[in-house]
Amino acid sequence: MLSREFAPERPKLAEPVEATVDGDQAYVRIGTPPSYIRLGAPAWSITRLLDGSRSVREVAHEAGCTEEQVRRLADQLGGGGLLEGSEAQQERHDSDVHRQSVFFLKFTWHDPRALGTVYDVVRRWIPPRWFAALAATLCVAGAAACLLSWTSMISQAQEAVSWSQVWQVWPAILLRAVVHELGHAFFCLSFGRSVAALGFGLYYFQPVAFTDVSDIWLLRRRWQRVLVHLGGPIVDVALLVASGVTVLAASDGLVETFAAYLLLSTLVGAAAGFNPLLRSDGYFVLTELLREDDLRDRALVLMATTAPWRLSVRDRTSAVLVTYGAVSFVYTLVIVGIGANVASRFVLHTVLGFDALPQAVMWSLGAGIALVLWTVMLRRARNATLA
């Protein structure tokens, strides 16, 4: 609720405010620390008038809507701490918005200005265009060399991996994650936007890193946002090449073992990152290219609220949502089925010494688990629409 002390009849957005209009949507950055919201054309026509100089009635008159619509939008903005004088605005300054638990321990570096300083120093010595051209050339050349030696590189990496050196898995995963996120940060800074936070931690005891590049929503060119999303995977390719060459060049020892773990962890991470069916970099690239925001959530809502025999392709948007939902369902079936077969062979055969269950049985079990998972996701999507 809005505080009466601050005259809710003249609502005012928290400052500073910056917006970028892309088609029929507006991406708005509000307040400090910044929050980012996406508004449709009607909501943006109201929001841009909330400067504290107009009453609710005047805003409704200029925007061509009802006073109730203005009040409802103001309540939503105030509830998110985006209006001056709202209780939630004070809470945003007094507490960390990120929650921690025993399963998610993290260390966050807010407003890392030093990163921007380092970027400026590097830019003076190596202009971004030169750096991009040099990096692209090295990546292409290295990738070609790795592809020619792919079989021997992977087999040598597998031979270098050993249980006695398994502790190197966590440093390798953390290094890959940090370098990946720095790739996103570099591309974000190169387009003149800011990086709000950097951090690393443990998520269910697995090393993770993260960066807040929400400021890219204010980039006016869509291809720039695509490149920021691809910044991490591009760095993954470079890291994959470097670790692969190290595996081939190094002799037996600690360096070769660490490079092998780094190669395998980067390979898995890059495959997951490029996958548009996971909520990862590939997914956000796909949403930008298709110009369909919240693709996964909207596809789930459509499938949760529409009977399968009533799903139809009426326009481009519905075609995209139906196709994405169907492919996601098939992907879930395949992945869970493969996981069930791998678990059967590893746990029953390798660990316990029993015969693995027939593949038909494990595929059926995997399909059942996938259906349960899909039902849970659809139910959550449906409940969210009814809330």
For residue 201, the cross-strand partners are: 106, 208
pLDDT band of residue 1 (cuts 50, 70, 90) is very low
Please give, one letter per residue, the 3-state secondary structure of the chain. CECHHHCCCCCEECCCEEEEEECCEEEEEECCCCEEEEEEHHHHHHHCCCECCCCHHHHHHHHCCCHHHHHHHHHHHHHCCCECCEHHHHHHHHCCCCCCECCEEEEEEECCHHHHHHHHHHHHHCCHHHHHHHHHHHHHHHHHHHHHCHHHHHHHHHHHCCHHHHHHHHHHHHHHHHHHHHHHHHHHHHCCCCCCEEEEEEECCEEEEEEECHHHHHCCCHHHHHHHHHHHHHHHHHHHHHHHHHHHHCCCCHHHHHHHHHHHHHHHHHHHHHCCCCCCHHHHHHHHHHCCCCHHHHHHHHHHHCCHHHCCCCCHHHHHHHHHHHHHHHHHHHHHHHHHHHHHHHHHHHHCCCCCCCHHHHHHHHHHHHHHHHHHHHHHHHHHHHC
Q: Is the pLDDT of residue 380 over 90?
A: no
Domains and CATH numbers, the chain: 4-94 (3.90.930.60), 104-279 (no CATH), 295-386 (no CATH)
Side chain identity at residue 170, one-letter code? W
Contact 172, 261 (CB under 8 A): yes
Contact 25, 39 (CB under 8 A): yes
Q: Is the pLDDT of residue 49 over 50?
A: yes
Q: What is the pLDDT of residues 103-146, one digit of tens each?
A: 566 677 766 777 777 778 777 777 767 777 776 776 677 677 77
Q: Is the pLDDT of residue 291 over 70?
A: yes
- Selection from 31, 154, 25, 47 nearest residue 90 by Cα: 31
- Selection from 370, 317, 281, 325 nearest residue 24 by Cα: 317
Q: Is the pLDDT of residue 93 over 50?
A: no
For residue 28, the cross-strand partners are: 19, 37
Q: What is the pLDDT of residues 153-181, one digit of tens each?
A: 777 777 777 766 777 888 888 899 999 99
Q: Is the pLDDT of residue 99 over 50?
A: no
* 160 half-sphere exposure, CB direction, 13 A CA radius: 29
Q: Residue 78 has which token pair?
A: 């105030």
Q: Is the pLDDT of residue 383 over 50?
A: yes
Percent over 70 (pLDDT), the chain: 85
- Selection from 164, 166, 331, 135 nearest residue 242 by Cα: 135
- Selection from 184, 250, 168 nearest residue 216 by Cα: 184
Handedness of CA 40, 43, 45, 50 (dihedral sign): negative
Q: What is the pLDDT of residues 174-230, one digit of tens each?
A: 899 999 999 999 889 888 888 888 888 777 677 888 888 888 888 888 889 999 999
- Selection from 138, 145, 35 nearest residue 79 by Cα: 35
Number of other CB atoms surrounding residue 181 within 10 Å: 23
Compute the mean pLDDT over every residue in the chain, rounded to the nearest whole number. Answer: 79
For the entire predicted model, the pTM comes to 0.76
